[in-house]
Amino acid sequence: MIIVKDLKRCYGTGDTAVRALKGVSFEINKGEFVAIMGASGSGKTTLLRILALLDDATGGEYTIRGLKVSSLPEAERSYYRLTQVGYIFQDYALISEMSAAENVYLLSMMEGKSKKESYKTALEALEKVGLKGKHDRVPDELSGGEKQRVAIARAIAKKPDILFADEPCANLDTTNSKQVLDVFKELNEKYGQTIVMVTHEPWHTDYVDRVITFKDGSLLSDEKKMKE
């Protein structure tokens, strides 16, 4: 589903240039739940942003379902971001002036769905992440885990091909982390959602099918885990 070939990303130029990704290649199949691990500064975030079309690679190639997205013009990339990929930020990145439902249905409206339909989609997505009945709350009235689950709802409401999450539990305690990971797991198992998640915590790998480890901008290891 995702094919990454010799992907490179270099920040800056000349003497101060940082080679954050030094040419990585891998494939991710439909329905996989992948964890990306590695030391701080190893290039995980850099990779994820490129995969989610938030940033451009400086070299290499990147295709989603056969479409070479690395060379799309910005308008199409924007549409792709809206309709095909979900991105979950470490700090939730919700719009603070919008309720949980509004945060989610904004995107459906952008896609051109009617208000009613958008609202329905939003409530469904919120229900999927276990936030039934909390759709009217604004982010300030939600716990960290709940906020992150709103963010997940926002990302999955559009039924994306792939869901990217950059350290989604970094700001959460164990209980909240578990709730979020459970949601991921359920999405993956019940709906076959492909998920790529960056994480530092070894125990998170219990939830995933595959662990890719980075070191200094290169692939260190890539191990599939047996499903229980």
Ligand X SMILES: Nc1ncnc2c1ncn2[C@@H]1O[C@H](COP(=O)(O)OP(=O)(O)OP(=O)(O)O)[C@@H](O)[C@H]1O
Residues in touch with another protein (CB under 8 A): 49, 52, 54-55, 78-79, 81-83, 87, 89, 93, 95-99, 102, 106-107, 109-112, 115, 138, 154-155, 158
Partner from ligand X, another protein, Mg ion, none contacting 10, C-beta within 5 to 8 A by type: none
* Pairing of β 162-166 and β 194-198: parallel
> 110 contacts which partner out of ligand X, Mg ion, another protein, none, CB within 5 to 8 A by kind?
another protein
Residues 194, 163 contacting (CB under 8 angstroms):
yes
Distance (Å, rounded) from C-alpha 224 to C-alpha 208?
9
State the binding partner of 1 from Mg ion, another protein, ligand X, none, CB within 5 to 8 A by kind.
none
* Residue 13 φ then ψ, to 5°: -135, 170
H or E element: which one contains 202? none
Measured from the CB atom, the residue of 122 and 163 that comes closer to Mg ion is: 163
Residue with tokens 């459906």: 108
Rule CB under 5 A: is residue 205 a binding residue for Mg ion? no
Contact (Cβ atoms closer than 8 angstroms) between residue 100 and residue 162: no
Is residue 59 at the binding interface for ligand X, with CB under 6 A as the rule? Answer: no
For binding to ligand X (CB under 6 A), which residues are involved? Answer: 11-12, 18, 20, 38, 40-46
